[in-house]
């Protein structure tokens, strides 16, 4: 969550620029506000289990972000957290299975599918690249980035961008872009093995 908050803070302007082209220019601010609230909640009370941390973070995103991305990412984290449960140990296989459940819940909540030019176009390729090995988080990050880039020629069928019809073509989807940032944060964290209870890191606090 610290790495995700830092990535969102770093790329806030890019996310808002993308959302100004095909939305209402609030995606960067929405996520920065949301993840700042997540870190504040975890500073107050950091549960020991990863699943409980994700569930709390998701709840906080839902309650602090007014835009569509709040309930959608909130559902992703909450559902993933619930699927992980409150066990102390999380391995790559359990995390992969839990993330798949989380992404399916996002698709159900948004009544969206792949190819609709949404965050799902990064989230689905990412979870499909996870094979249950710790090393595959890097492949998931690359798949999410490719998936985000592949939204450029798509016509939006869900969310605000869909109101633009044909005019949504030629722009990268802001939510697919932020989903790639979140998987990049996950890959970094998996690589360094950081993220123990209470370890919020410097960059997270600066956010």
Q: By the criterion CB under 5 A, which residues form the site for Mg ion?
A: 19, 23-24, 26-27, 67
Tell me, residue by residue from 31 to 70, as one string, x for binding to ligand ADP by CB under 6 A and - for no binding: ------------------------------------xxx-
Cβ pair 120, 106 in contact under 8 A: yes
Q: Using CB under 6 A, which of the segments 3-11, 52-60, 114-122, 198-206 binds ligand ADP?
A: 114-122
| Residue 2 interacting partner from ligand ADP, Mg ion, none (CB closer than 5 to 8 Å by kind) | none
Among 1, 2, 12, 26, the residue binding ligand ADP under the rule CB under 6 A is 26
| Residue 145 interacting partner from ligand ADP, Mg ion, none (CB closer than 5 to 8 Å by kind) | none
Q: Using CB under 6 A, which of the segments 49-57, 83-91, 118-126, 131-139 binds ligand ADP?
A: 118-126
Cβ-count burial 53-92 (b if 16+ within 10 Å, e if not)? bbbbbbbbbbebbebbbbbbbbbbbbbbbbbbeeeeeeeb
| Residue 122 interacting partner from Mg ion, ligand ADP, none (CB closer than 5 to 8 Å by kind) | none
Q: Decide whether 74 or 201 has the Cβ nearer to ligand ADP.
A: 74
Q: How far apart are CA 89 and CA 78, in angstroms?
A: 18
Cβ pair 177, 8 in contact under 8 A: no
Among 11, 12, 145, 173, the residue binding ligand ADP under the rule CB under 6 A is 173
| Residue 176 interacting partner from Mg ion, ligand ADP, none (CB closer than 5 to 8 Å by kind) | ligand ADP
Asked whether position 112 contacts ligand ADP by CB under 6 A, the answer is yes
DSSP assignment of 5-43, as one string?
HHHHHHTHHHHHHHHHHHS-S-HHHHHHHHHHHHHHHHH
Specify the long-range contacts of residues 199-206, CB closer than 8 Å, at least 24 apart: 199/2, 200/2, 200/39, 200/42, 200/43, 201/2, 201/3, 201/6, 203/2, 203/3, 203/6, 204/1, 204/2, 204/3, 204/5, 204/6, 204/39, 205/2, 205/39, 206/6, 206/9
Closest residue (Cβ) to ligand ADP? Answer: 175
Closest residue (Cβ) to Mg ion? Answer: 23
Q: Decide whether 6 or 179 has the Cβ nearer to ligand ADP.
A: 179
The site for ligand ADP (CB under 6 A) is made up of 19, 23-24, 26-27, 30, 67-69, 72, 110, 112, 118-120, 158-160, 173-176
């Amino acid at each position: 969550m610290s790495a995700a908050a830092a990535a969102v803070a770093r790329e806030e302007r890019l996310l808002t620029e993308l959302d100004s082209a095909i939305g209402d220019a609030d995606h960067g601010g929405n996520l920065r506000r949301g993840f700042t609230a997540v870190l504040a909640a975890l500073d107050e009370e950091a549960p020991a289990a990863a699943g409980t941390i994700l569930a709390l973070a998701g709840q906080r995103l839902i309650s602090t972000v007014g835009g569509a991305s709040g309930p959608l990412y909130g559902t992703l984290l909450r559902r993933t957290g619930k699927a992980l449960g409150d066990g102390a140990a999380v391995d790559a296989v359990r995390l992969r299975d839990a993330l798949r459940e989380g992404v399916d819940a996002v698709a159900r909540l948004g009544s969206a599918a792949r190819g609709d030019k949404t965050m799902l176009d990064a989230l689905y390729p990412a979870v499909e690249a996870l094979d249950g090995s710790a090393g595959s988080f890097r492949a998931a990050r690359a798949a999410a980035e490719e998936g985000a880039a592949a939204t450029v020629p798509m016509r939006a069928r869900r969310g605000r961008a869909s109101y633009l019809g044909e005019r949504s073509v030629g722009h990268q989807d802001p939510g697919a872009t932020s989903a790639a940032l979140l998987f990049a944060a996950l890959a970094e964290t998996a690589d360094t093995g950081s993220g123990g209870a209470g370890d919020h890191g410097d960059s997270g606090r600066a956010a």
